[in-house]
Amino acid sequence: MLNCQAEGVPEPTVVWKKAKDGKSGDYEEIIERSYTKLLANGSLFLQNIKEDREGYYLCQASNGIGNPIGKLVQVKVNSPPYFSAPSHIVTVKKGDTAKLQCTVSGDLPIQIQWIRAGASLDLNSPNGYRLSMKQESTSDDGVRAELTISGTEPGDGGAYFCQASNMYGKDQQLVQLLVQEPPESPSDLKTVLVTSRAINIQWHHASVNSAEVSHFIVQHKSGNDGSWKQVELNGQLRGCLLEDLKPATRYLIRVFAEGRAGRSVPSETLVVITEPQQPAGPPLNIVARPASSSQLLVTWSPPVQELRNGDIQGYNLGFMETSSSSGVGTGSYNMTGLVGDGAEEGAEFLLTDLAKFTRYSVVVQAVNQVGPGPMSEPVTAQTLEDVPSLPPEDIRCGAASSHSLQVSWKPPPVSHCNGILQGYKLQYDSQDEAFDDFESKKTSSLTLLLPNLHKFTNYSIQVLAMTRVGEGVYSQPIYCQTSEDAPGSPEDIKVVVSSPQSLLVTWLPPKEPNGVITKYNLYTRTMTGREELAHKKTSLMSQHLSHEVKNLNEHVEYQFWITATTRVGEGQSSKVISQIPTSRVPAKISSFGGLIRRPWHSSVSFPCLMVGQPPPRRTWLRGDSVVMGGGGGGRNLQMGEGGELTIGNLQASDSDNYTCLVENNVGSDKITYMLLVQVVPSTPVLYVASATSSSILLHWRVNDNGGSPIISYLLTYKKSNGDLQKDVLHRKTVNYELKGLMCGSTYHISLLARNKLGNSYPSSPIAVRTQGQFPGTPSREAFLTPNSTSVGLKLHVWPDNGCKLLYFAVKYRPVNDIDWIVVSNSLKPQRRFTISNLVPSNEYQLQVEAFNVAGSSTGDFQFSTLTKDGDLPPPDSIMRGRISTAMLLDLRFLLPAAGVFLLLLSVIVALCAICRRLRSGRRRPKEDAQNEQNLEAQRDRYYATMQKVSLHDKIPETSEEISPYATFQLEPPALLHSFRYQDDSIIPGCASTPPMSISKMRRRRRSSGRKTDVDSEDSEESDHDPLTSSRTESSNHLDKKHQHDTRYIYHGAQSSTSSDISPMAEQKSLPRRGPKSRWLATPSRSGNLRAPHMALTETPGPFRNGSELSEAECDIDTLKKLKLGLRSSLWSKPSGSQGGGGQGDYSIAV
C-alpha cells in the first residue's frame, strides 16, 4: 500500500505514475487493473507483487490552481530464487556430451548446486574428470547454470536437481537425464560383386526384430571426395547394390544400424576399387609448339579424373602433315605409343625428324590398362623456318659487256626452301692471279648484273638462297668471262742505239691486254727541232716484242711509240720514247727487268740482250755478288749463248735480285730481275675459338701464301674411331664453324692451305671435345615412385650431362633372384615410365642404363613396393625373395658346388687310405689277453652305469657329421675330462687308439701351447658315477661347432680339482650302430679335454669274424685300457730331451 493524501480547495485529484525502465524522470500513468487498485483516498494498492513492480512511483496531486504537487516513492521488491518450470527432460545418446541447464530468477547473489542421489556433485570424485560446471548471468538479472557430462554412459542417466538459494529463500528444478544406447554396428561387411559401375555388398547384424533396428544406412564415398553419400534400407535387409559408380575408383563403404535409440557406430570401413574401363575422355590442354625446324614439342594434361576410368599407363600420339591453307590432313595419323607416361602433372613428347617449315596436325589419346580412349581434337603447329637445304637451280651467266656479266637462276625446289625466301646471295671471284677481287651481292630478283669487272677476265660464280633464318648452301661454281675490249697500253718501251744508222725498239705487252693480242703497231716519227718531218706506222706480229729500225740518219731525233690490237680494235699507246743515232754506240741493254714469279722446281731465264761497240762485257750479279761473267757461278746457274741467265730446279732459297751489268769503254747499263719462287703455302696456324655440344668454331691464319694466292683450304676432321671427313673452304675464309657434331665426343681436326703449287703441310692435329659427357645417375628418391603393384620411373630427371639421351635399357628382378626381367632395351626418352605387375610389399632390384652419343651410365636401384592399402611396408614384412629352384639348377651354382664336393671326397678317401696303412704296422697282440680279462671283470659295473639315450639324441647319419679327419673344439659347458691313451694293440672288432710314444705326446702338448699341472695320482675309488655327457650329447655339441668353424681344435684345459683319472672315464658313451665310425670322449670336472684327441679306428675287414666282441664290450675294454695307460703315461713330466715338436692338433681316424 502506497499512501498519498492531498488537501486543497477545490479538492485535488491524485494521479499515480511509474518511472519507465526503473529510472526517475520519465513516467507513465498507472491504470487500475488486476492486482493494481487506486483507492478513493489516493492510496495505491499493489497485490501479488513481483519483481516487475519494483521501481519509482510518483504520486501527483492537482486542483487546477497553481502547479501540481507530487511525492516520489521508491518500491524495492525482495525475491527468493524461483524457476519458470519445476522440471524438464534432457535426452542424449550414449557417448555424447550431455548439457543439463537450468535458469533461475530472484535477487542476487544466488548460489546454485547440482544434486544427484541426495548429494552434491563433486568435481574431485573419480568420475569428476567428465564433469564441468559453469554459471552465468542472464539479461533479465537471472542466473543460468550448466552441468556438462562428457562421454555419457547409461549409468549417468537419472534425476539431477538444480538447487538455487539466496538470503530470501531457495528453490530447485528437476532435470531428468535419459541416456539412449544405439544398436550394435553391422559386422562382416564384404563384397559379393564388383564391376566398373556397381558394387554389391553384404553384412551381418545380430538384431532379430525391427524394434531394435528400424533401418540400415549405407554410406560410401570415393577416396578423394570428402562427402559421404548414403542409402537407407529396411532393417530386415542385409545387402545393398551401390550403382552409378565411377570406374577404377577407390570407394570407402560403411554401414550404420539405426533404431529408436539412435544410430550405431559405423561398421569397419570396406575399401573397394571398381573395375577399370577405357578412358571416356581425351587428354586436355594439348599444345604443340615448334622446338626447331624439324621438331615439335607436344604437351598435354591427363583426362579429367572422372573420365580416366583407370590408371593412365601411357598415351598414343599421332601426327600428320596438313595443308597450310586448309589445315586438312594429307593422310592418316602416324601413331607413336608412349608407354608409362601417365604422370599426374602432365606429359610431353618431342616429335623429331619432321619436315622443315611444315604444318602438322597432332592428336593425343590416353591409354589405361583396358585400352585407349577417344582422340583429342587435333591441334596444328608448324615447324620453324630453316635455311634452304638446296641451292638455286639452272644458274646461267653471260657476258653483258667487257666489264659486266649477266647472271640468272631459278629458286630451289619448294620442298627444300624450308621457309619463305627472302632473296639470294651471289658471290663471284676472279680466276686471274693478277686480280684479287672477291665480292658478293644480294638481290631479291632472279637475275643480277655484275658491273665493274675486269675486261676479258674469267670469273667463278656461286648463288645461294636465303630465308629469314639465314643463308642456305652455295651452288656449284660456274665460270663466265667478260668480253674482249681494246687493250691497254704496252707496259713499257725502250729504244737503244744498235749501230750508227739503226735503233733497236723493244717493248713489253700491255698489263691489261683485255683480249687476245693480234698485232702491235709501231709508230715512228722523225723530228727536227719541234717540226715533224715524217710519220710512219709499222704493224708487227703479236709474238714480236722488238723491232730494229735501220737506215737512219745520224744526229736526227726519232720518236717511237707502240700500241696493241685485239679483235675489238687498237688500244692505247705507250709512252713516247726519243732516241738519236750516233757513231758511238755505248753498252745498252734492250731487255726489261722487273718482278718475275716462277713456281718451285721449274726453271727461269733472265734475258739480257745488249748492244754496243765495241761489244760490251756482260756480268750477272745476285744481290751484290757476281754469279756469272766474273768467275762466279752456282750449281743450278747457266748462261746461254744470248747472255741470258738460266736457273734450273728453282727452290725458295733462289728468290733474290738478279742484275745484268753490261759495259764498254763508251758506257754501261744494267737491269735487275726480282725473282720470287712460288712455293706451297706455309702450314696454317689453327686454333679453337669455342665449342658447344654440337659445334666447334675454328680460327686460323697463314703466315705465308708461298708467293701465290691461296686457292682454297681443306679442313679434315675425324671423330675418335670414326671416318675421316673433309670440307673444302673458300680462299677468303679465316674462320669456320663445324656443325652437326656428336655431343661429348673428341674430334681430331687439321687444316691445310692450297695454292696453284699444291698443298701446304697440314697443321698439327688438335683434339677438341664437344661439350657434354655420358649420362649421370639420379638419386633413387628423385627417380622412383613405388606403388603397390607398380613403380614409376621419372625418366626426365635422368641427368644427360649436356648430351641428349637416346634411349634406355630397363630390367628388374626380385631381390635374390638370378634371372632379370627385361622391360625394354630401347626405351625412348619420355617424361615418365611405369613398370607394372609387381607384387605388393616386395623388394626389387632395378637396373636402368641410359645411353647418349657420349656413352652410357648404369643406375642400380633397390626399392620396395607399397602395401595393398598404399602404405609403406614395415621392414619385417618385406618379401626379400628366396633362392628359387631355378637358381639351384643353374650351372653357375651347380658346377662350383660339385667341384667342391668332389675335392672334399677325394681328400677324405686319400686320408683314410693313409691312416689304414699306418695302423696295420702298429698292432701289439700281447695286450689282447689282458683286455679279455678286464672285459669280464668290468662288464657288470659298466652296464650298471649306462644311461638310456633317447631316440631324439641319435647322432644323425648325414653329411653334416664331423669329418673323420677334422680337428674340433668343445666349448666349456661340455664337462669332459682330458685324457691321453696309448696302446699298440687293437682288439679285434673294437675301437682302439693308434700307438703313440710318450715323447711324441709331450711334443704335441708343447706345440699346442697347453700347460698341464698334475698334483696327485688318480683315484679309482671315486663314487662319482652319473654320466655327465653321453656320446650323443658330445656328438651333437660337435655338430653345432661344425656349422660355424672350418677348423676344429680339440683344446686341452688345466684341471683345477684333481689330476686323477676321473671315475667318469669309466662311463660309457653309447656306440653308433652301423658301419660308421665310433667316437669316444671322456668327461672330467675341468670341463675340457686336456689331451690331444684320441684316435679311434674301426677294425679292418680281416679282424671282423665270429669271435669279435660286442660293441658294449669293446667300449668297456677301451675304458679300462684308458685307466691302465693314463696312469703310466698321461701325467708324465714332459722331457726336454725329446726332439721335435709335433703339431698340437690331431686327427680322429676312422
Q: Could you give all domains of the chain from N- to C-terminal order, each with its CATH number?
A: 13-75 (2.60.40.10), 82-180 (2.60.40.10), 187-273 (2.60.40.10), 284-382 (2.60.40.10), 398-481 (2.60.40.10), 485-583 (2.60.40.10), 585-678 (2.60.40.10), 685-769 (2.60.40.10), 780-889 (2.60.40.10), 924-1130 (no CATH)
Mean pLDDT of 645-659: 92
Where residue 1066 falls among pLDDT bands split at 50, 70, 90? very low
pLDDT, tens only, 1051-1060:
333 333 333 3
pLDDT, tens only, 831-872:
788 888 899 999 999 999 999 988 899 999 999 999 877 788
Residue 54 is placed in which grid cell?
519494483
Tell me, what's the pLDDT at 36? 83
Q: Is the pLDDT of residue 377 over 90?
A: yes
Mean pLDDT of 941-963: 40
Q: Is the pLDDT of residue 675 over 80?
A: yes
Tell me, what's the pLDDT at 629? 62
Q: Percent of the chain at pLDDT above 70?
A: 76
Amino acid in the structure at residue 482: T
Tell me, what's the pLDDT at 898? 83
pLDDT: which is higher, 621 or 34: 621
Mean pLDDT of 634-649: 85
Residue 990 is placed in which grid cell?
673294437
Task: Decide: 285 and 301 in contact? Cβ < 8 Å.
Answer: yes
Task: Decide: 613 and 531 in contact? Cβ < 8 Å.
Answer: no
Where residue 682 falls among pLDDT bands split at 50, 70, 90? very high
Tell me, what's the pLDDT at 213? 87
Q: How far apart are the C-alpha atoms of 507 and 493, rounded to whole Å?
A: 4
Q: Which of 1068, 1064, 1070 is nearest to 1083 (CA)?
A: 1064
Q: Is the pLDDT of residue 1071 over 70?
A: no
Tell me, what's the pLDDT at 861? 95
Tell me, what's the pLDDT at 732? 87
Task: Decide: 645 and 639 in contact? Cβ < 8 Å.
Answer: yes
Mean pLDDT of 800-812: 92
Q: Is the pLDDT of residue 635 over 80?
A: no
Q: In what order do the strands lie in the sheet with 447-450?
A: 393-401, 404-410, 447-450
Tell me, what's the pLDDT at 21? 73
Tell me, what's the pLDDT at 877? 62
Q: Report whether the peptide linkage leading into residue 599 is cis, meaning its omega lies within 30 degrees of zero.
A: no
Q: What is the CA radius of gyration of the chain?
A: 64
169-180 and 87-93 beta bridge pairing? parallel
Tell me, what's the pLDDT at 324? 62
Which pTM value belongs to this model? Answer: 0.56
pLDDT: which is higher, 478 or 946: 478
Mean pLDDT of 657-671: 94
Tell me, what's the pLDDT at 878? 64
Q: How many angstroms separate the most distant Cα atoms in the chain?
A: 193
Least confident of 228-237, 302-311, 394-403, 983-992: 983-992
Tell me, what's the pLDDT at 634? 56
Mean pLDDT of 492-499: 94
Task: Decide: 395 and 477 in contact? Cβ < 8 Å.
Answer: no
Contacts of 190 (CB under 8 A, 6+ apart): 201, 202, 203, 270
Q: How far apart are the C-alpha atoms of 153 and 535, rounded to whole Å?
A: 153
Signed CA dihedral, 447, 450, 451, 456: sign only? negative
Contacts of 1150 (CB under 8 A, 6+ apart): 912, 915, 964, 1077, 1096, 1097, 1098
Mean pLDDT of 237-266: 89
Q: Is the pLDDT of residue 1100 over 50?
A: no
pLDDT: which is higher, 534 or 649: 649
Where residue 945 falls among pLDDT bands split at 50, 70, 90? very low
DSSP character at residue 837: -
pLDDT, tens only, 416-458:
999 999 999 999 999 887 787 789 999 999 999 999 999 999 9
Where residue 1021 falls among pLDDT bands split at 50, 70, 90? very low
Tell me, what's the pLDDT at 89? 93
- Three-class SS of residue 914? helix
Mean pLDDT of 673-698: 94
Task: Decide: 435 and 403 in contact? Cβ < 8 Å.
Answer: no
Task: Decide: 1115 and 1068 in contact? Cβ < 8 Å.
Answer: yes
Q: Is the pLDDT of residue 233 over 80?
A: yes
Q: How far apart are the C-alpha atoms of 743 and 797, rounded to whole Å?
A: 19
pLDDT, tens only, 910-938:
989 888 888 765 555 444 545 454 444 44
Mean pLDDT of 93-106: 90
pLDDT: which is higher, 1085 or 186: 186
Q: Is the pLDDT of residue 1019 over 70?
A: no
Where residue 490 falls among pLDDT bands split at 50, 70, 90? very high
Q: Percent of the chain at pLDDT above 90?
A: 47
Highest mean pLDDT among 859-863, 963-967, 1003-1007, 1060-1064: 859-863
Where residue 671 falls among pLDDT bands split at 50, 70, 90? very high
Tell me, what's the pLDDT at 342? 59
Least confident of 309-313, 376-380, 995-999: 995-999
Q: How far apart are the C-alpha atoms of 763 and 687, rounded to whole Å?
A: 10
Mean pLDDT of 392-406: 95
Highest mean pLDDT among 55-69, 609-623, 820-834: 609-623
pLDDT, tens only, 167-201:
989 999 999 999 888 888 999 999 999 999 999 99
Average pLDDT value for the chain: 79
Contacts of 291 (CB under 8 A, 6+ apart): 297, 350
Q: Is the pLDDT of residue 505 over 50?
A: yes
- Three-class SS of residue 156? helix
